[in-house]
Amino acid sequence: MSIQLEDKHIVVVGAGPVGCLMSCLLKKKGAKEVTLYEKRPDMRATDIDAGRSINLVLTERGLAALTLLRERERVIKELTVPVLGRMMHDLEGNLTYQPYGKDDSEHNHSVSRSELNKFLLDEAEEVGVKIVFGHALQDVDLENKTLHFLKGNDDIKVQADVIVGADGAPSPVRKALMELDGYEGRVDMLEDGYKEIPFAAKANGEYAMAEHALHIWPRGNHMLMGLANLDGSFTGTIYMPMTGDLSFEQLQTKDDVVAFFETHYPDAIELVPDLGNTFLENPTGTLGTVRCGPWFYKDDVVLIGDAAHAIVPFFGQGLNCGFEDCTTLNSLLDECDSLEQAFERYHELRKENADAIADMALENYIEMSEKVGDPAFLLKKKVEHKLEQELDTIYRSRYATVMYSHVPYKIAQDAGLIQQDILDTLLHDISSPDELDINKAKALIEQKLTPFYQKHNVNIDKAL
Ligand SMILES: Cc1cc2nc3c(=O)[nH]c(=O)nc-3n(C[C@H](O)[C@H](O)[C@H](O)COP(=O)(O)OP(=O)(O)OC[C@H]3O[C@@H](n4cnc5c(N)ncnc54)[C@H](O)[C@@H]3O)c2cc1C
C-alpha cells in the first residue's frame, strides 16, 4: 500500500538540514508540489552563519537517511573528516585517547552543518523542490491549512494541502499545534550556553592537533571541544553556564577571556588567533530540550527534526535523530493507507525514542564535562572496550549502539542500565582491564543482557 501524493501541495517550513532532506523525499515520492519556506536568506549566497557554523558529527542513523538520496558516499567523501575517538586534554596539557568503536571501522564523521545544509539545498532544487527564502512563518490557521508569513513588512498567506514543520527548536508550527486541546509541549533550557571558537590550521595548512579525534578539555562545570574541518582548521566550542561564577557573563573583556583560558585551557590558547576578540565577537547560543506531542494533526500537519524534539548536543545525535525521522516517515508513506495513519504511526514509533535520546544527551553532558578525566571512569571505559573486543557478538556499548546501529534509542537506553550494572559488578574487584575475568563477564552478560535483547528482538551481533 502506498499513499498518493500526486494531488498534494506540501509546504515544508524551515530549510535546515532536516527540512531539505524531507522535501527531497516527498518530491521523490511524487508529491505534485513541494515548497520549502525559509526565514533566512539563501546561505549559499550570503554568509549568514558567521560565528555559528556548528560543526557536528554524522553517524549511522543520519548517513542511512542520505542513502535514500543515494548521496551517503558522496557526503562522506566530500564533506566529512573521520573521527575515531576522544582525545582528552588535562590541565597540564597531557593527552589521553579513547577509541569510539571496537575498531577504527566504527567512527563518526565531522561535518560543517552549513556545508551539509548547502549540499541539501542543492539536492532539493535538483529534485524539483521550490525554495522560497526570506519568509518568516508567523502563525498557522490549522483548520484552513493557511500559513501566514512575513516577508520584510509584507504579509503573505499561503494555502497548503499538507504542512511539515521543520522549523527548528523555536518552531511556530509546533506552537500552533500545542494550542489545540490534548496537545502538550515544553522547552527546558539548560543553564549552560555555547560559543564557537575557531582553531586555526598551522601556517603550512596542516592540522595543529590530531585531526581524527574529538578533542575535549573537561573542566567540571565548563568544557571545550574541538572537531576537525576539511581545511586543516578545527571548530572549537566552549560550553559553560550563562550566568554565575565561571560563566559567559563573567567574561566581559579581552583580558578576562585570556586570563580564563590561561587558567583552564592553557594548551588551547596558541590555537586561537586573537582569542580575546574572537571570543567576545562570536555570539553565545542557548541550548534546550523540546518535549511535545502529539507531533501531528489529522492528515494536515506533522513535525520533524528539532521542531519536534530539539535536544542538547552532548550525544551528537540531534541531527541524526532528525534524519532518522525522515527515514521512518518515508517508509511509512509506502506502508500506510492514509497520511493520518502514517503520521500517527510515525509519532508512535519516534516519540519514545526521541525522549530517550534527549535524556541520554543530558546525561552525556555530565560524562563529557566531568567524568572523561576521572581515572575510575577511564578504567570503566577500558574494561568496556575489552568486552566489546572479546565478546562483541553479545556485548556492544550503549555509545556504539546509539552511534553505529539502528537499534531504537529507547532500547539502547534501557540496555545501558543493565550494562552499567554488569560493569559495576566486574569493576568491583579489579584495578586494570588486564585483571578482567572474561568468563565471569560472559556469564553475567548472558544472564542479564542477552534476555533483554531477545525480548526486544534485537540481535546485537548483527545490529552493528
Ligand atoms: C553546538 C551544537 C552542536 C551540535 N552537534 C551535533 C552533532 O554532533 N550531531 C548531531 O546530530 N546534531 C548536533 N547538533 C544538533 C543539530 O544542529 C540539530 O539537531 C539540527 O540542526 C536540526 O536540524 P533541523 O533542520 O531540524 O533544524 P534547524 O537546523 O534548526 O533548521 C530549522 C530551519 O528553520 C528555519 N526557521 C526557523 N523559524 C522559522 C520561521 N518562523 N519561518 C521559516 N523558517 C524558519 C531556520 O532558519 C532553519 O533554517 C548540534 C547543535 C548545536 C547547537
Of 54, 66, 109, 314, the residue with max ligand 1 atoms within 8 A of its CB, to mutate for a pocket test, comes to 54
> CA dihedral defined by 126, 127, 130, 133, rounded to 10 degrees?
-50
Which helix (H) or strand (E) segment holds residue 64: the answer is: helix 60-67
Q: Is the Cβ–Cβ distance between 149 and 135 less than 8 Å?
A: yes
Pairing of strands 301-303, 296-297: antiparallel
Q: Phi, psi (5° rounding) for residue 206?
A: -80, 160
Q: Which atom of ligand 1 is nearest to the CA of 169?
A: 30
pTM of the model: 0.97
Q: How far apart are CA 214 and CA 88, in angstroms?
A: 8
Computed from CA positions of residues 373, 378, 381, 386, in that sequence, does the dihedral angle turn out positive or negative? positive
**Per-position pLDDT tens, the chain of length 464:** 678 999 999 999 999 999 999 999 999 999 999 999 999 999 999 887 666 778 999 999 999 999 999 999 999 999 999 999 999 999 999 999 989 988 899 999 999 999 999 999 999 999 999 999 999 999 999 999 999 999 999 999 999 999 999 999 999 999 999 999 999 999 999 999 999 999 999 999 999 999 999 999 999 889 999 999 999 999 999 999 999 999 999 999 999 999 999 999 999 999 998 999 999 999 999 999 999 999 999 999 999 999 999 999 999 999 999 999 999 999 999 999 999 999 999 999 999 999 999 999 999 988 777 776 688 888 999 999 999 999 999 999 999 999 999 999 999 999 999 999 999 999 998 999 999 999 999 999 999 999 999 999 999 999 99
Q: Which atom of ligand 1 is nearest to the CA of 194?
A: 1
Q: Whose CA is nearest to atom 32 of ligand 1?
A: 168
Please list every protein residue whose CB sits less than 6 Å from any atom of ligand 1. 13-19, 37-40, 54, 56-57, 113, 136-137, 166-168, 170, 172, 194, 237, 285, 305-306, 313, 316-320, 322
Q: Which residues of 235-271 are buried (b: 16+ CB within 10 A; e: fewer)?
A: bbbbbbbbeeebbbeebeeeeebeebbeebbebbeeb
CATH topology of domain 9-83+111-187+288-366: FAD/NAD(P)-binding domain (3.50.50)
Return the C-alpha cell found at 216.
575535549
| Helix, strand, coil percentages for the chain (3-state, nearest 5) | 45, 25, 35
In which residue are the cell numbers 571570543 written? 279
Q: Is the Cβ–Cβ distance between 187 and 278 less than 8 Å?
A: no
Q: What angle do CA 409, 414, 420 make, to 5 degrees?
A: 120
Distance, C-alpha 83 to centroid of its chain: 15
Q: Whose CA is nearest to atom 50 of ligand 1?
A: 313
Distance, C-alpha 52 to centroid of its chain: 15
Return the C-alpha cell found at 251.
567574561
In which residue are the cell numbers 588551547 written? 268
Domain with CATH 3.30.160 in the chain: 191-286
Domain with CATH 3.50.50.60 in the chain: 9-83+111-187+288-366
Residue 91 Cα, ligand 1 centroid: separation in angstroms?
33
Q: Which atom of ligand 1 is nearest to the CA of 15?
A: 49
- The DSSP secondary-structure symbol of 391 reads S
Pairing of strands 146-151, 136-141: antiparallel
Q: Which atom of ligand 1 is nearest to the CA of 57?
A: 8
Asked if CATH classification 3.30.160 holds for the domain at 191-286, the reply, yes or no, is yes
Of 11, 58, 113, the residue with max ligand 1 atoms within 8 A of its CB, to mutate for a pocket test, comes to 113
The amino acid sitting at 133 is: F
